[in-house]
Amino acid sequence: MDLTRLLSPKRVAVVGASPKPGKVGEIVTRQLVEAGFEVYPVHPKETVIHGRKVLSRVEDLPDGVDLAVVTLGAQRAVPAAVAAADRGIPFVVVVAGGFREAGGADLEAELVGELRKRGTRLLGPNTLGLMDARSGLDTLFVQHVRFDGTGPGRIAFISQSGSVGTEATALASWGGLELASFIGLGNKSDLSELDFLEHYASREDVDTIMLYLETVSGGRPFLEAARRAALTKPVVVLKAGRSGSAAKAVASHTGSLAGSYRVLGGAFRQFGLVQATSDEEMMDMANALALAPVPRGNKVGIFTPAGGFGVMAVDETEQEGAWPKMVMARPSQTTQKAIKEASFPFVATGNPVDLTASVTVDMYAQSLKIFASDPDVDILVAGIFFSPAGLGEPTAPAMADAARWVVDELGKPVVMFVFDGERTFDRTRYFHSRGLPAYPSVRRAVRAARALVERSEFLRRHGS
Amino acid sequence: MDLTRLLSPKRVAVVGASPKPGKVGEIVTRQLVEAGFEVYPVHPKETVIHGRKVLSRVEDLPDGVDLAVVTLGAQRAVPAAVAAADRGIPFVVVVAGGFREAGGADLEAELVGELRKRGTRLLGPNTLGLMDARSGLDTLFVQHVRFDGTGPGRIAFISQSGSVGTEATALASWGGLELASFIGLGNKSDLSELDFLEHYASREDVDTIMLYLETVSGGRPFLEAARRAALTKPVVVLKAGRSGSAAKAVASHTGSLAGSYRVLGGAFRQFGLVQATSDEEMMDMANALALAPVPRGNKVGIFTPAGGFGVMAVDETEQEGAWPKMVMARPSQTTQKAIKEASFPFVATGNPVDLTASVTVDMYAQSLKIFASDPDVDILVAGIFFSPAGLGEPTAPAMADAARWVVDELGKPVVMFVFDGERTFDRTRYFHSRGLPAYPSVRRAVRAARALVERSEFLRRHGS
């Protein structure tokens, strides 16, 4: 279905708008006004909020309002949402909790039923809200999130959890997640991941979809929607509530039954979903899929100035039982000789390439290019740490230049791991800004690389 | 053997001392002078370095030097080390690479043989050095590490990798790892993990030992040394070089054969070693073991203001195949009623306890204590994020107070996970300073909790 008026509205009503700093109705109004939307605050007594004339009743709203964000408590939210539907508003977001997840199943059924009769679609209730970099829409009421959408964000995140949503949007707001759009599904009593999968699959400014789900809408319909999306772009999913007690916790927390993971989990792979096992892994994989090209195969080159990191990277690459299988590339004698000539005769060149702590920046950048050019290398996992004497401040740009050359000229992905003490996060952010996925741990980098190989295998199976 | 003169020397010679900032011989000299040791720089031409009179030859050193740090290149390091041994110095550290790991096996054999004849013990060659908070010794030449040992550090780290050593000491220097002492084993051609396991097992200022190994010295002797240590304090080990290609990389990087992981891996558990599978996990586990008490059993209580985090925590707790098994505690009806009375009637109290985003700081702290007091809860995994309106700045101290009460009054461990956007690391550091292990992810917190349960099972098997 067409979600344009929900995600790129022109006229937005805030029912429950408030002048009181920190209140949800205040935060939402302010953000909408600052982003330049036509905002219509609704409040029975106020006259002006954030410079906008307040309407005392929903019934007074003008024609053509695209979206109503209802920030009232559960009991008052229902008649307000129905009034918005009566005014012909096609989309309503109900923020309040206190519905099915907290003993209010009847109230939720009433809300959904009345809106459905009127042809109005509902996001929520019990939702963190939504945000979209393309339109500037941001109804999130989590105060410390200031997502400006200026990064190279091309990830859309559909989340059934407000807390994981908060984590992701916070990470995005300081440059750690390349987010373009976010949907908090809340209780998803009407609009669900099925609708948003379809929407994001068709959007050109989104090239990776990330999903956090505790319950799955419909089983088979979900898998089919996910596959349709996966044929156009990578879809990473974290299905939480896998264990028995977790499924019970999901029931108590969302008011829904968690899907049977045993049945679903096996199907995910078959339907082309890249499956994450934790929130961090989900975001790591999505960053790699959003930033790096898909490799031609599963042969990994590992490149590092530090033996220990190289050994750990090989352990992760060849980890038993990990899927899809990745193998160590075998660089030719010519490649190995060229690396030694570009650096030192004593360095290890057999893969992992270990240039040792004696390396200089130029040697490092040059050897990276030589290694990546070997025909047996499909994907490069390259590490860097800033302690060796030769690897100081100019290292990051030089490494990024070399890695970009590998991506742009050879079309091969480069996934980086980076250590620089307390500056580590700033370093990963720098590499992100150069379009290179970067991680503060060897394991996380290799797992992100595996997501790229998985995507490559899916595309090969489907003839792309 | 007695390593006192190595780790707490009075008189230290630096053979290869240099006045040139950034050179290894300069960094080491400076650090030793600043820490107040009696330092004897040796250099053929210089007269004074960092305020200390320079001796032109090793032969000129006074009697009673405890330790010689040799910072010369491989070829010149060998005669220098031998001269130090001739001068009766009991411990020599050889920093240089260029030995067995780089085609110099003969040179290394000469070094070891000559020192052995003279009864001098060798750390290295090819070592990052060592550092000890108790004595103030710090011969690490990695420039950005400034480890001051002022934290509650009680972890000793024995590392066969300089790069993992750098990672750990960097993390320690900004409060993320509770380090008391560090040994870079280098090529461990004389002193090995066996010696340092014995040393740290007997030290009262160390209560957790962390080991990163690529090769194992002697197989059975290692396991027996580890068990002796494990009977006194927890020993966490990361054995890298597990896969086939990784073992080859180890051979090239260290000049030694990696032990067969299939044989060793199974024995680790039996001998009481807590086994980590990545560098990050190793440090996470060590922090928990160093900071938290050992639980009485394996029943986990999960406590959070956020449903999604609770669901993920349960998934991790009940993860199939994970060892040791952990189960979800079942709080009594009395406990559950008391939590509802202390917070809201609609919160989930069955475990995970999910207080929802409506919670206030007081409710949070009070409910944590009630939940922890339930007799079925052995260990608490408690999450916090700072976004809900009620959980602002006063949350961290209130939570820490409540968690300390649980530890001090009930004797139960509390492991925390913390989310606060870009301030997350500062938050985890704050909880560390209160003696509480804290992690920026649910998975990492639960895995650290599992290490505590594993320690508890080992101690129960051994009657402590």
Q: Could you read off the pLDDT of A291-317 as tens digits, one per residue? A: 999 999 999 999 998 889 999 999 999
A202 and A319, same structural domain?
no
A93 and A61, same structural domain?
yes
What are the backbone angles phi and psi of residue B444, rounded to the nearest 5°?
Answer: -65, -40
By CA distance, what is B301's nearest residue in A?
A245
**Which residue of B166, B314, B358 is in closest CB contact with A387?**
B166
A248 and A224, same structural domain?
yes
Strand-pair partners of B12: B39, B67
The position carrying tokens 């009232």 is: A72
Helix (H, G, I), strand (E, B) or coil at B134: coil
B329 and B278, same structural domain?
no
| Residue that finishes a domain, picked among B262, B291, B320 | B291
Dist. CA A143–CA A160, nearest whole Å: 19
State which H helix or E strand residue B287 sits in.
helix B279-291
For chain A, what is the domain count?
3
Dist. CA B429–CA B174, nearest whole Å: 9
Q: Which two tokens stand for residue B73?
A: 């290149």
Candidates A245, A316, A328, A417, partner chain B, best to mutate (most B CBs within 10 A): A245
**Which residue of B166, B243, B385 is in closest CB contact with A163?**
B385
| Mean per-residue pLDDT, A428-441 | 92
- Sheet of A11-15: strand order equals A38-42, A11-15, A67-70, A91-94, A121-123
**Which residue of A22, A101, A249 is in closest CB contact with B311?**
A249
Q: pLDDT higher for B345 or A333? A: A333
Q: Which two tokens stand for residue A61?
A: 């709203």
3-class SS letters over chain A = CCCHHHHCCCEEEEECCCCCCCCHHHHHHHHHHHCCCEEEEECCCCCEECCEECECCHHHCCCCCCEEEECCCHHHHHHHHHHHHHCCCCEEEECCCCCHHHCCHHHHHHHHHHHHHCCCEEECCCCCCEEECCCCEECCCCCCCCCCCCCCCCEEEEECCHHHHHHHHHHHHCCCCCEEEEEECCCCCCCCHHHHHHHHHCCCCCCEEEEEECCCCCCHHHHHHHHHHHHHCCEEEEECCCCHHHHHHHHHHHCCCCCCHHHHHHHHHHCCCEEECCHHHHHHHHHHHHHCCCCCCCEEEEEECCHHHHHHHHHHHCCCCCCCCCEECCCCHHHHHHHHHHCCCCCECCCCEECCCCCCHHHHHHHHHHHHHCCCCCEEEEEEECCCCCCCCCHHHHHHHHHHHHHHHHCCCEEEEEECHHHHHHHHHHHHHCCCCEECCHHHHHHHHHHHHHHHHHHHHCCC
A154 and A43, same structural domain?
no
B200 and B57, same structural domain?
no
Which structural domain, as residue segments, surrounds residue A55? 1-126
- Look up the CATH number of the domain holding residue A48: 3.40.50.720
**Which residue of B142, B161, B244 is in closest CB contact with A387?**
B142
CB contact under 8 A, A348 and B250: no
What confidence score (pLDDT) does residue A360 get? 85
Q: Is residue A385 classed exposed, middle or buried when 0-12, 13-18 and 19+ CB atoms within 10 A define those classes?
A: buried
> In chain B, which residues have their Cβ closer than 8 Å to the Cβ of A356?
97, 102
Dist. CA A171–CA A147, nearest whole Å: 9
| Residue that finishes a domain, picked among A75, A107, A126 | A126
By CA distance, what is B169's nearest residue in A?
A421
Helix (H, G, I), strand (E, B) or coil at B439: strand
Q: pLDDT higher for A192 or A421? A: A192
A253 band by pLDDT with thresholds 50, 70 and 90:
low
> In chain B, which residues have their Cβ closer than 8 Å to the Cβ of A311?
161, 214, 240-241, 246, 249-250, 253
Dist. CA A193–CA A204, nearest whole Å: 19
Dist. CA B32–CA A239, nearest whole Å: 53
Nearest to B303 by CA among B453, B449, B452: B449
What confidence score (pLDDT) does residue B132 get? 92
Q: What is the CA radius of gyration of chain A?
A: 25
> In chain A, which residues have their Cβ closer than 8 Å to the Cβ of B278?
312, 316, 441-443
B140 and B266, same structural domain?
yes
pLDDT in tens, chain B (464 residues): 899 999 999 999 999 999 999 899 999 999 999 999 999 999 999 999 999 999 999 999 999 999 999 999 999 999 999 999 999 999 999 999 989 988 899 999 999 999 999 999 999 999 999 999 889 999 998 755 555 555 557 999 999 998 898 888 888 877 788 889 999 999 999 999 999 999 999 999 999 999 999 988 777 889 999 999 999 999 999 999 887 777 777 766 665 555 556 666 678 888 999 999 999 999 999 999 999 999 999 999 999 988 899 999 999 999 988 999 999 999 999 999 999 999 988 888 999 999 877 788 899 899 999 999 999 999 999 998 776 555 566 788 999 999 999 999 999 999 999 988 778 888 898 999 899 999 999 999 999 999 999 999 999 998 76
Q: Which two tokens stand for residue A244?
A: 């028995």
B452 and B367, same structural domain?
yes
- Look up the CATH number of the domain holding residue B407: 3.40.50.261
A275 and A262, same structural domain?
yes
B354 and B314, same structural domain?
yes
Dist. CA B419–CA B439, nearest whole Å: 9
Sign, CA torsion A400/A402/A405/A411: negative
ipTM attached to this prediction: 0.91
Instruction: Give the Cα-Cα-Cα angle B161, B167, B173 (nearest 5 degrees).
Output: 130
| Mean per-residue pLDDT, A58-84 | 97
**Which residue of A250, A315, A316 is in closest CB contact with B311?**
A250
CB contact under 8 A, B306 and A161: yes
What confidence score (pLDDT) does residue A392 get? 65
Q: Could you read off the pLDDT of A111-149 as tens digits, one per residue? A: 999 999 999 999 999 999 999 988 999 999 875 555 555
CB contact under 8 A, B167 and A419: yes
Strand-pair partners of A211: A158, A237
Asked if residues A182 and A283 have their Cβ atoms less than 8 Å apart, the reply is no
> In chain B, which residues have their Cβ closer than 8 Å to the Cβ of A325?
none
Compute the nearest-CA separation of A21 from chain B (Å): 11
A437 and A339, same structural domain?
yes
What confidence score (pLDDT) does residue B421 get? 76
B148 and B93, same structural domain?
no
Strand A179-184 and strand A130-132: the pairing is antiparallel
Q: Could you read off the pLDDT of A351-407 as tens digits, one per residue? A: 999 987 778 889 989 999 999 999 999 999 999 876 655 556 678 899 999 999 999
> In chain A, which residues have their Cβ closer than 8 Å to the Cβ of B348?
249, 252-253
> In chain B, which residues have their Cβ closer than 8 Å to the Cβ of A385?
163, 166-167
| Residue that finishes a domain, picked among B76, B110, B126 | B126
Q: What is the CA radius of gyration of chain B?
A: 25
CB contact under 8 A, A167 and B103: no
Nearest to B91 by CA among B8, B172, B29: B8
Q: Is the pLDDT of residue A204 over 80?
A: yes
A259 band by pLDDT with thresholds 50, 70 and 90:
low
The position carrying tokens 């790591």 is: A284
Compute the nearest-CA separation of B271 from chain A (Å): 23
Q: Which two tokens stand for residue B170?
A: 């960097």
